Every structure is written in C-alpha cells, then in structure tokens.
Amino acid sequence: MIIQFTVENFLSFKEAATLSLAASALKEKQTSSEDIVFELAGTNLSLLKSAVVYGANASGKSNLIKALDFFKWFVINSSKGVQSGERIQQVESFRLNRTTENEPSYFEAVFADQQSQYRYGFEVDEKRVYREWLYQKSNKKKAKEVELFLRNQDEYELHPKFAVGKEVVAKKMVRDNALLLSVAAQFNETVSVEIMEWLANTTIVLGSSDERIWEMATQQIDNPEMKQRIVEFAQFADFGIDDIRKVDNTVISSHQQYDETGKATKMVTFPFRKNESEGTIKYFSLAYPIIDALDHGKRLVIDEFDSKMHPLLTCKIIALFNSQLTNSKNAQLIFTTHDTNLLNANLFRRDQVWFTQKDSLGASELYSLAEYKVRNSAPFEKEYLMGKYGGVPIVGQFERLFDQKEETGDGTDE
C-alpha cells in the first residue's frame, strides 16, 4: 500500500511536495467512508483507496506522475539499465532557479505490505547518487523505525540485518550512478527484493505509455480466462463488442450485423486499433491493469485518466476501487484529471482530492482539499471552477487575438 510519496527539485517541483494516502480525521457524510478507508492491519494507520489530482494545464500534475515513474524505473533498473559512467538521462532538476538547477533531485516513498512499513528514498542528479536511505518498522502499534542503511555518497552506515548490503559495499559493487537497494536485490537481499516486487506490482500509465499498456492488454488475450473478463469489461461499457480475439497476432473485435428488420444475421470483425474509437482502445488497454489491481490489491497510477473516455465510465471505474465489494483487497488508484464532474462529495472525501498550482516563479505546489475549511455539503465542482481552491488556469483575453480592427498611426480607423 502507498502511504505517501515526496518529490523535491524535479521538473516543475522546486520545493518538497508530498502526496499522502493516509486518511485524515474527517467526518464525511456523503461518501461511504467505511468503504473508501481501510486500516493497515496491526496499526492505527488508516489509508485511502484512491486519490485524484486536479490542476490547470502545465501546473505539475503530469510531473508528479513522472516523478513516481522515475522513482520506480530507477530503483528497478539502476543496477543494470545504467552503465558505469553513463548519465542518468531521466532525472532533471528544477531549472527555473539558479541554485536548484545544480542540485540533486529528491525522492522518498513510504509504503507497506502485510508485515512491515518502509521509508525509502534517494537524492540523485544525472551524474550520481548523493544520498540513499532505507528504514523499516513492523506493522505493530508503537513499533519503532529501524535504519537498515544510510548512504552519503561513498560512505555507508549498514544495519546487521542488511548483511548482503555490507558485502556488496565491501566489494565496491555499487557504482556512483546506481542504487545500493537495486544492487542488493540482484543478490536476493530479502527486503530489497520485496521492495522491487512491490514496485513491479505498481502500474504507472503515462500519456507516453499508450503502446506499453496496449501490448500488456494484447498479451492477456492469450489467456482464455482473462480474455473473457476483458471482453465482459468491454461489454459492460456498451461498446457493442461481442468478442475480442487475436487473428495472426492482430487484435480484432466482433460486432453483430443486422438486417433491415433488426434481425441479427452474422458477426462482422474489424481490426481493433484501426476501426474502434480512441476511447474504446484506451478502455481496452486499461482493462487488464484495472482487473489485475482489484484482484490482487495492487496499485494503479494513471495520468489524464479522463482523456478519451466518457465521464460515466471513469466514474464507474473509480467506484470499483472505492467499494469494499469490488475492492476487498484494498487496491489503490491514483490519477490526474480535468473532469470536474468527478469532483463531488458523493464520490470523494476531501482528503482524496489534491490540486497542483504553479507560483509566479514557475514552481509547482501540491495541496489537498482537506486543507480548506469547507462544509461537507459544499459544491466542490462549482467552487473549484470559481477558483476558490486554486489549481485553475488564469484565462487571458483571447478575444484580442481576433480583433479585426486595424488602426492607423494617428489612432484613427482607415
């Protein structure tokens, strides 16, 4: 489970920004809070099943998801995907400030499995890892956090429990541009492997990853049981699709043909990506990550969730995650959107709603609706569009671009 994620000095985030899925002490009347909130076993910590991030274009929403994506990618790949002496191309500091553009970026995630909570993070720029740390505590009330290791450039403090880490450090197997955790996982260090598996079970969908999730979806068509569930998932969305299958490694969809009297005559097939709508293609591509997350209690992070899809569909998918009936294993959904139809107290608690906004110096800020003193019954959508919570664009006078009047040099019309 994700508890919180913090990023600092990365892309548009100059100062530290923390997205938290820890439930606040709110008394929300409209939402079914008993479904949306779950308690981490053995602790006093309550977590949320979903969180939504709103904000104007270029306010930092996508950069928050990119930060999560980089965190995942670098942990999994730094020991093998980045060679000695290579630059870490995917990391970029906040460049609109003379000081921060030359400082490392900061990432930290706090997360949990059934037995333990972890706090893991690092500071890195395109040349090297400057700091790295890992803390663990058991899921018991009043349990204390234990430092498993602390890295400060080439100096390490290692707990006896992290014995493999001690060995790889002694043999100088950790490069400047690689993470100790990634290297330790290659040698089957227990905690490192658990964290790598946790990240592998966290699916992140960026706008640029359409091809990757399409390939993930098409692979599942080879599994008859999952194929049937994906077909049913599409049928519930009223796309008029009777079947989805592969022919010569091409995904095709089947539709019913009718005669003039409305009688079904035969099935007609189409190449899926050529003939189906963009929204249908996206819905099909997301079907497996959604089903997989709900089946196994995984995490799903989606940038621009509402893009190409009808609001009723996105609303229904969110409801699947927020329901105890369909999400008994406490899967978590984090997404960005512009769809204000979702912004209502019948769907989200205030601590599930977040906003990004850029300040006058181009830096993104991240904050929660729970920070505002508003009534449970307040019209969140209306007040958001009015600018009460920030996170909306300051729209200029577009009309000036289309003013057809041409003036002469003396100020009179020609």
- The closest alpha carbon to 315, from 289, 292, 333, belongs to 333
pLDDT at 3: 95
Q: Assign domain 2-201+298-385 to a CATH class.
A: alpha beta
First-to-last alpha carbon distance for the chain, in angstroms, is: 69
What would the DSSP string read from start to end of 130-174? EEEEEEEEESSTTPPPEEEEEEETTEEEE-GGGHHHHHHHHTT--
For residue 296, give the nearest of 327, 320, 317, 334 by alpha carbon: 327
Q: How distant is the alpha carbon of residue 184 from its chain centre?
A: 26
Amino acid at 411: G
Q: What is the pLDDT of residue 121?
A: 97
3-state secondary structure of 370: helix
CB 46 within 8 A of CB 38: yes
Q: Quick one: pLDDT at residue 387? A: 67
Amino acid at residue number 88: I
Angle between helix 224-236 and 278-296 (nearest 10): 120
Instruction: Retrieve residue 66's tokens.
Output: 């990119």
What is the pLDDT, as a whole number, of residue 414? 45
User: Can you give the pLDDT at residue 102?
Assistant: 93
* DSSP strand pairing (146-152 vs 364-368): unpaired
Where do the domains of the chain lie?
2-201+298-385, 211-283
Q: Which residues contact 54 (CB under 8 A, 6 or more apart)?
A: 61, 336, 337, 338, 340, 343, 353, 354, 355, 356, 384, 391
Measured CA to CA, the distance from residue 240 to residue 128 in angstroms comes to 52
Question: Mean pLDDT for each consecutive 10-residue tract of the chain (414 residues)?
Answer: 96 97 76 76 88 91 96 92 80 94 96 91 96 92 89 92 87 91 93 94 85 87 90 83 88 88 88 87 90 96 89 89 93 92 82 93 93 68 65 62 60 50
208-212: Cβ within 8 A, 24+ apart: 210/282, 210/285
